[in-house]
Amino acid sequence: MPQPHTILIADDDPQIREVLRILLENEGYRVLEAEDGTRAVQMANDTVDLLILDVMMPGLNGYRACAEIRKTSLAPVIFLTAKAQDADKTMGFASGGDDYLAKPFSASELLARVKAALRRYLSYGAKTAPAEDERITLGDLSIDVGQNQVSRRGEELQLTETEYRILLLLAQNRKKIFSVQNIYESVWQEPYFYSANNTVMVHVRNLRKKIGDTGEANAIIKTVWGRGYRID
């Protein structure tokens, strides 16, 4: 029998933690709880498959906790917050988050987001035997599709599953221009909505930093102004 996926909840409100724990355990997940960001960072080991972080926690808030967790873990992070402005979402994605759910939220919406994030992450982490034709080379950047690994000059890069999927989408469709809507619907696998524009832009910016794109002239990922992104 397969082991249940482990989800770590971090929220300073014990009642919210209890509600989330009951919802998730009823779906068969194993649930861990942290009362603040500091404890979440301590508990975020390689047995945790997904994290749900409240943004407004005393001490180490959700954004800072996520940034620390990203140093050792690529597991998806879903933020919970009463703040749902675009600027707040941008900050969350910039710190390494994958999704954002505003309070109050419905049980069905939360579970749908959790299942979608786990599906994408587990697909990203499913290593298979590499095949010769499953390697894409972009200058000194190499994508091993069979192993879901990206390296530059022989050094493996630590991409989140969202960053990897964006890169792979563009790399497997060289010279094709992908609009923000195209990217969102292909990678997130859900209908595009207006505020998703910032979501994609922040993830592309984070991806560019990791792959060493320092200037548009020599960038691997090209911006086609007014239209989207492409890889030549």
- Reading the chain (232 residues) residue by residue, the pLDDT tens digits are 567 899 999 999 999 999 999 999 999 999 999 999 999 999 999 899 999 999 999 889 999 999 999 888 889 999 988 766 666 677 777 788 888 888 888 898 899 889 988 888 877 654 444 444 578 888 888 998 878 889 988 888 888 888 998 999 999 999 999 999 999 888 887 787 776 777 888 889 889 988 988 776 678 899 898 899 999 8
The β-bridge partners of 31 are 7
Parallel/antiparallel/unpaired status of strands 135-138 and 141-144: antiparallel
pLDDT given at position 130: 43
CATH architecture for segment(s) 6-124 = 3-Layer(aba) Sandwich (3.40)
Q: Where are the domains of the chain?
A: 6-124, 132-231
Residue with token string 């560019």: 208
Q: How many residues does the chain have?
A: 232
Render the chain in DSSP notation, one character per residue: -PPPPEEEEE-S-HHHHHHHHHHHHHTT-EEEEESSHHHHHHH--TT--EEEEESS-SSS-HHHHHHHHTTT----EEEEES---HHHHHHHHHTT--EEEESS--HHHHHHHHHHHHHHHHHHT------GGGEEEETTEEEETTTTEEEETTEEE---HHHHHHHHHHHTTTT--B-HHHHHHHHT-S---TTHHHHHHHHHHHHHHHHT---TTT-SEEEETTTEEEE-
Q: Burial letters for 172-202: b for 16+ Cβ neighbours within 10 Å, e otherwise? A: eeeeeebbbbbbbeebbeeebeeebebbbbb
**Which structure tokens are listed for 221?**
């990922």
CATH of span 132-231: 1.10.10.10
